[in-house]
Amino acid sequence: QKLRNKLYKEVELYGKPYLYEKLVKADLRAAAKIHPNDLFRVIRALEVYYLTGKPISELQQRKEGIMDKYNVAIIGLDMARSALYQKINERTEEMFTQGLIAEVKKILDKKLSLTARQAIGIKEVKGYLEGRYSLEEAKDILSRNTRHYAKRQLSWFRQDKRIKWIKITKNDTPKKMIEKIIKKI
């Protein structure tokens, strides 16, 4: 934890490129796979290097994963973008109804890490609490940021050729989804 805090402090003082350069020097193979702005992974790779004395890329090569031991199927559930966005909008409304503002107020009273301060929901509600925008604007911004995050996740997971994608609709029951999964594997 001390090391992680030290690395985050270095980011605040010198910026992300400084920390990324440290990773390039410590573990070029890991740096080639990690985007310079992916602060979480850059810090994690540096932590592993400083704590073990070995590059994370070397340790990852040695490990035997679940895929090596078992016949694993990775399933991705895919739905129409419009249906996904509708679910996101509904979930945003539900979160506000269930007390998101009060929850964020409590959280903001605590000392948060740089990563936690950037969590979806916190920054949008904070903007509302600070009077930068109305409640409706906060909801719209939260929904928009969640949609962008979902799009980035889909882009990331679509690169993984091991994933078997299954189209689902809003009318699919859990039983119907299970049947689709069984057919796919």
What is the reported pLDDT for 185?
83
Determine contact, residues 128/138, Cβ cutoff 8 Å: yes
Summary count for the chain: helices (H), strands (E): 12, 2
Tell me: pLDDT of 63 over 70. Answer: no
Minimal CA–CA distance to 156: which of 72, 38, 9, 55? Answer: 38
**116 phi and psi angles, rounded to 5 deg:** -65, -35
Which residues, 6+ apart, have CB-to-CB distance to 114 below 8 Å? 8, 11, 12, 39
What's the pTM value of the predicted model, to 2 decimals?
0.64
Per DSSP, the residues of 38-57 read -HHHHHHHHHHHHHHSS-HH
The rounded distance, in Å, linking the Cα atoms of 122 and 103 is 9
Write the pLDDT tens digit of every residue in 83-142.
999 999 999 999 999 999 999 999 988 888 878 878 899 999 999 999 999 999 999 999
With bands split at pLDDT 50, 70 and 90, how would you rate the model's confidence at 50? Answer: very high
Tell me: pLDDT of 67 over 80. Answer: no
Write the pLDDT tens digit of every residue in 33-42.
999 999 999 9
The rounded distance, in Å, linking the Cα atoms of 87 and 85 is 5
The rounded distance, in Å, linking the Cα atoms of 135 and 96 is 10
Work out the mean pLDDT of the chain and round it to a whole number.
91
Determine contact, residues 104/118, Cβ cutoff 8 Å: no
Write the pLDDT tens digit of every residue in 147-165.
999 999 999 999 999 999 9
81: tokens are 């973008």
